[in-house]
Chain A
Amino acid sequence: MSDLAATPVTAAAIAAGVRDGSVKAVDVMEAHLARIAQREDEIHAFNLVLADEARAAAAAIDAAVAAGRDPGPLAGVPVALKDNMCTRGVPTTCSSKILAGWKPPYDATVVTKLAAAGAIAVGKTNLDEFAMGSSTENSAFGPTRNPLDISRVPGGSSGGSAAAVAAGFSAVSIGSDTGGSIRQPAALCGVVGVKPTYGYVSRYGLIAFASSLDQIGPFTTTVHDAALMLDVIGGHDPMDSTSIPAAQPSLVASLDRGVEGLRVGRITDLPDGADPDVLERLEAAFDALREAGATIVDVQVPAFANALTAYYLIAPAEASSNLARFDGVRFGLRVDAPDTNAMYSATRAAGFGPEVKRRIMLGTYALSAGYYDAYYGRALKVRRLIHDEFARAYQRAEVLLTPTSPTVAFPFGSKGDNPLAMYLCDLYTIPSNLAGHPGMSVPFGTGADGLPVGIQVLAGTLDEPTMFRVGAALERAAAHEGSAR
Chain B
Amino acid sequence: MSESRPAAVQPTYTTSHIDFVEFEQGYELVVGLEVHVELATATKLFSASPNRFGDEPNTNIDPVTLGLPGALPVLNEHAVELAMRVGAALNCTIQACTFHRKNYFYPDMPKAYQISQYDQPLNVDGWLDLPGGYRVGVERAHMEEDTGKSSHVGGASGRIHGSDYSLIDFNRAGVPLVEIVSRPDIRTAEQARQYVTELRGILVAIGASDAKMEEGSMRCDANVSVHRAGTPFGTRCEIKNVNSVRSLGRAIEYEARRQIAMLEVGERVRQETRHWDENDGRTHTLRTKEDADDYRYFLEPDLVPLEPSPEWIERVRESLPMLPGARRGRLADLTGMPADGEAIMVVVERGQDQYVEAVGHLGGDIGRALVHVKEAFAEQGPEPTVPATDLALLTKLEVAGALTATQAKAVLAEIVANGGGDAEAIAAAKGFEAMDTSALEAMVDQAIAADPDAWAKFCAGEGKAMGALVGAVMKASKGQADGKAVTALLNAKKA
A327 neighbours in B (Cβ, 8 Å):
105, 107, 112
Q: Are B301 and A344 in contact (CB under 8 A)?
A: no
Interface residues of B in 259-308 (CB under 8 A from A): 294, 296-298, 301-304
Number of B residues with CB within 8 Å of any CB on chain A? 32
A364 neighbours in B (Cβ, 8 Å):
296
Beyond A86-B69, A340-B107, A344-B105, whether A239 also contacts B113 by CB under 8 A is no
Q: How far is the CB of B187 from chain A (nearest CB, A)?
A: 32
Q: Which residue of B lies closest to A237 (CB)?
A: B72
Q: Are B303 and A241 in contact (CB under 8 A)?
A: yes
Beyond A239-B74, A242-B302, A325-B111, whether A104 also contacts B69 by CB under 8 A is yes
Q: Are A204 and B294 in contact (CB under 8 A)?
A: no
Q: How far is the CB of B157 from chain A (nearest CB, A)?
A: 15
Beyond A211-B301, A317-B298, A368-B296, whether A204 also contacts B67 by CB under 8 A is no
A330 contacts the other chain (Cβ, under 8 Å)?
A: yes
Q: How far is the CB of A189 from chain B (nearest CB, A)?
A: 26
B66 contacts the other chain (Cβ, under 8 Å)?
A: yes
Q: Mark A230-255, 1 if CB is under 8 A from B, else 0.
A: 00000000111110000000000000
A203 contacts the other chain (Cβ, under 8 Å)?
A: yes
A205 neighbours in B (Cβ, 8 Å):
70-71
A331 neighbours in B (Cβ, 8 Å):
68-69
Q: Which residue of A lies closest to B4 (CB)?
A: A340
Q: Are A206 and B70 in contact (CB under 8 A)?
A: yes
B294 neighbours in A (Cβ, 8 Å):
368-369
Q: How far is the CB of A435 from chain B (nearest CB, A)?
A: 15
A182 contacts the other chain (Cβ, under 8 Å)?
A: no
CA–CA, A168 to B105, complex, Å? Answer: 44
CA–CA, A341 to B301, complex, Å? Answer: 27
CA–CA, A372 to B101, complex, Å? Answer: 14
Q: Which residue of B lies closest to A102 (CB)?
A: B69
Q: How far is the CB of B199 from chain A (nearest CB, A)?
A: 31
Q: Which residue of B lies closest to A332 (CB)?
A: B69
Interface residues of B in 149-165 (CB under 8 A from A): 160-161
Interface residues of B in 288-338 (CB under 8 A from A): 294, 296-298, 301-304
Q: Which residue of A lies closest to B166 (CB)?
A: A340
Interface residues of A in 77-124 (CB under 8 A from B): 85-86, 92, 94, 99, 102, 104-106, 108
A211 neighbours in B (Cβ, 8 Å):
301-302
Beyond A211-B302, A367-B298, whether A321 also contacts B69 by CB under 8 A is no
Q: Are A238 and B103 in contact (CB under 8 A)?
A: no
A329 contacts the other chain (Cβ, under 8 Å)?
A: yes
CA–CA, A91 to B75, complex, Å? Answer: 29
Q: Are A329 and B302 in contact (CB under 8 A)?
A: no
B73 contacts the other chain (Cβ, under 8 Å)?
A: yes
CA–CA, A18 to B204, complex, Å? Answer: 62
Q: Which of A86, A241, A242, A321 contacts B296 (CB 8 A)?
A: A321
B378 contacts the other chain (Cβ, under 8 Å)?
A: no
CA–CA, A341 to B69, complex, Å? Answer: 21
Q: Are B304 and A105 in contact (CB under 8 A)?
A: no
A62 contacts the other chain (Cβ, under 8 Å)?
A: no
B96 contacts the other chain (Cβ, under 8 Å)?
A: no
Most B CB within 10 A of own CB, among A102, A105, A239: A239
CA–CA, A373 to B55, complex, Å? Answer: 44
A369 neighbours in B (Cβ, 8 Å):
294, 296
Q: How far is the CB of A83 from chain B (nearest CB, A)?
A: 12
CA–CA, A211 to B69, complex, Å? Answer: 12
Q: Are A324 and B301 in contact (CB under 8 A)?
A: no
| Interface residue tally on A, bucketed by range | 35 or more
Beyond A241-B73, A241-B303, A330-B110, whether A104 also contacts B68 by CB under 8 A is yes
Beyond A86-B70, A104-B68, A208-B70, whether A241 also contacts B113 by CB under 8 A is no
CA–CA, A102 to B68, complex, Å? Answer: 10
A207 contacts the other chain (Cβ, under 8 Å)?
A: yes
Q: Mark A350-373, 1 if CB is under 8 A from B, else 0.
A: 000000000000001001110010
Beyond A321-B113, A340-B160, whether A242 also contacts B66 by CB under 8 A is no
A300 neighbours in B (Cβ, 8 Å):
none
Q: How far is the CB of B91 from chain A (nearest CB, A)?
A: 30
Q: Are B301 and A318 in contact (CB under 8 A)?
A: yes
B467 contacts the other chain (Cβ, under 8 Å)?
A: no
B74 neighbours in A (Cβ, 8 Å):
238-241
B103 neighbours in A (Cβ, 8 Å):
320-321, 324, 367
B105 neighbours in A (Cβ, 8 Å):
324, 327, 341, 344
A212 contacts the other chain (Cβ, under 8 Å)?
A: yes
B63 contacts the other chain (Cβ, under 8 Å)?
A: yes
B168 contacts the other chain (Cβ, under 8 Å)?
A: yes
CA–CA, A372 to B73, complex, Å? Answer: 25
Q: Which residue of A lies closest to B99 (CB)?
A: A241
Q: Are B70 and A207 in contact (CB under 8 A)?
A: yes
Beyond A238-B74, A369-B294, whether A330 also contacts B160 by CB under 8 A is no
Q: Which residue of A lies closest to B69 (CB)?
A: A207
Interface residues of B in 80-119 (CB under 8 A from A): 101, 103, 105, 107, 110-113
Q: How far is the CB of B331 from chain A (nearest CB, A)?
A: 46
Q: Mark B52-80, 1 if CB is under 8 A from A, else 0.
A: 00000000000100111111111100000
Q: Are A212 and B301 in contact (CB under 8 A)?
A: yes
Q: Are A329 and B69 in contact (CB under 8 A)?
A: no
Q: Mark A304-341, 1 if CB is under 8 A from B, else 0.
A: 00000000000001101100111101110000000111
Q: Are A240 and B168 in contact (CB under 8 A)?
A: no
B168 neighbours in A (Cβ, 8 Å):
329
CA–CA, A340 to B165, complex, Å? Answer: 10
Jot down 27 A-B pairs with beta carbons below 8 A, ordered by A.
A86-B69, A102-B69, A104-B63, A106-B63, A106-B71, A203-B72, A206-B70, A208-B70, A211-B301, A211-B302, A239-B72, A239-B74, A241-B75, A318-B298, A318-B301, A321-B113, A321-B296, A324-B112, A325-B110, A325-B111, A330-B66, A331-B69, A339-B161, A340-B160, A341-B105, A344-B105, A368-B294
Task: Knowing that A242-B304, A367-B103 touch, tell me 11 more A-B residue pairs with CB under 8 angstroms.
Answer: A106-B70, A208-B70, A212-B301, A239-B72, A324-B112, A325-B69, A340-B4, A340-B160, A344-B105, A367-B297, A376-B298
7 A-B pairs with the lowest CB-CB distances in the bound complex, closest first: A324-B112, A212-B301, A367-B296, A211-B301, A207-B69, A205-B70, A86-B70
- The chain B residues found within 8 Å of chain A, CB to CB, are 4, 63, 66-75, 101, 103, 105, 107, 110-113, 160-161, 166, 168, 294, 296-298, 301-304
- The chain A residues found within 8 Å of chain B, CB to CB, are 85-86, 92, 94, 99, 102, 104-106, 108, 203-208, 210-212, 238-242, 317-318, 320-321, 324-327, 329-331, 339-341, 344, 364, 367-369, 372, 376
